[in-house]
Amino acid sequence: MTEHLGLHLLEHPLSPYVQKVKLALHFKGLPFTSAYPMTDAEIAEDFALSPRGEVPLLKHRDLALYDSRVICTYIDETWPEPALMPKSPYARAQIRWIEDAMDTHFEANTWGLAEVTIFRRATGDLADRLTRHAQQQILNWFQWLDQRLSDGGWFNGPSYGWGDMCVVPFVNGAARFDLHPKAGTPLAAWLRRVNEIDAVRLTQSAAAEAELDPLTMQAALTSGFKREYRDHRLEWMIRAGGIDVVAQGLSNNNIRFNGSFS
């Protein structure tokens, strides 16, 4: 498909949610343009479209959609072939369940590791404690994923699809922190196979090129950049023992929650 469809994605290549959307667009063979808002003015203009101020955000016609699940559903319903998911409601339910686990449980751990190693929100004992918590959780999640995969199988069922697109960005995200599925497990074998898919390779090389420089990111925290602490991330930080990190972020005004009506 080569026609111009006017699909424009606001993104950051490292975001696993963005990667999921890109994988869905590639799977359908849909051409799209993309950009990541950098300056304060771009961020303000683009994020005025979303009460969350998050990427991914997909613009199409007069729509500005946020949230990777909403976006992927829109893509699948608008361009139904090839289908992102199997037809059976049972199989779909399992995929949605895995997606929810990745989006709202697994991700908090890699996000927390970035808070420690890139944004340096904690040092010393607290950093060790948060890191250990994240590492242990991720290894447990690897086991959980392993149990949902048969040898040679896909999370989507008989072939690669949404079920895999919603897992691979997060598992690759853990590899950035040197956390890998155990050798010899179905998950490790799946990861090798899924990373050979062209679209996955493409999103991974874009992510590698966009790797965050810790010093730049720490400086950003003192010059107006606020990291989003909503929902599962806030809960993760508190549960992992980092309530002081939250208090400090509020006091330094470099964490934020959802926007509110003004």
Ligand X SMILES: N[C@@H](CCC(=O)N[C@@H](CS)C(=O)NCC(=O)O)C(=O)O
Task: State the Cα–Cα distance between residues 162 and 86, nearest whole angstrom.
Answer: 9
**DSSP-assigned letters across all residues of 66-129:** ESHHHHHHHHHHHS-SS-SS-S-HHHHHHHHHHHHHIIIIIHHHHHHHHHHHTS----HHHHHH
Cβ 125 to ligand X, closest distance in Å? Answer: 26
Shortest distance, position 15 Cβ to ligand X, whole Å: 3
Does 46 contact ligand X by CB under 6 A?
A: no
With CB under 6 A, what is the number of residues at the site for ligand X? 11
Which CB atom, from 103 or from 164, has the smaller least distance to ligand X?
A: 103
Residue 262: both structure tokens together: 């003004």
Among 5, 36, 59, 67, indicate the residue that binds ligand X (CB under 6 A).
67
| Residue 193 or 257 having the CB closest to ligand X | 257
Dist. CA 83–CA 186, nearest whole Å:
25
Beta bridge partners of 34: 9
Least distance from ligand X to the Cβ atom of residue 27, Å: 17
* Burial (CB count within 10 angstroms: exposed 0-12, middle 13-18, buried 19+), residue 247: exposed
68 in contact with ligand X (CB under 6 A): yes
- Report, in Å, the least distance between residue 54 CB and ligand X: 3
By CB under 6 A, name the one of 56, 161, 173, 249 that touches ligand X: 56
CA–CA gap between residue 77 and residue 216 (Å, rounded): 40
SS3 7: coil
Site string for ligand X, 1-40 (x = CB under 6 A): --------------x-x-----------------------
| Alpha-carbon gap, residue 104 to 13, rounded angstroms | 19
What's the min distance (Å) between Cβ of 216 and ligand X?
A: 15
Per CB under 6 A, the list member of 92, 120, 193, 227 interacting with ligand X is 227
Does 96 bind ligand X (CB under 6 A)? Our answer is no
Residue 121 to residues 52, 217, 218, Cα–Cα distance (Å) = 22, 11, 9
Binding site for ligand X (CB under 6 A): 15, 17, 54-56, 67-69, 103, 227-228
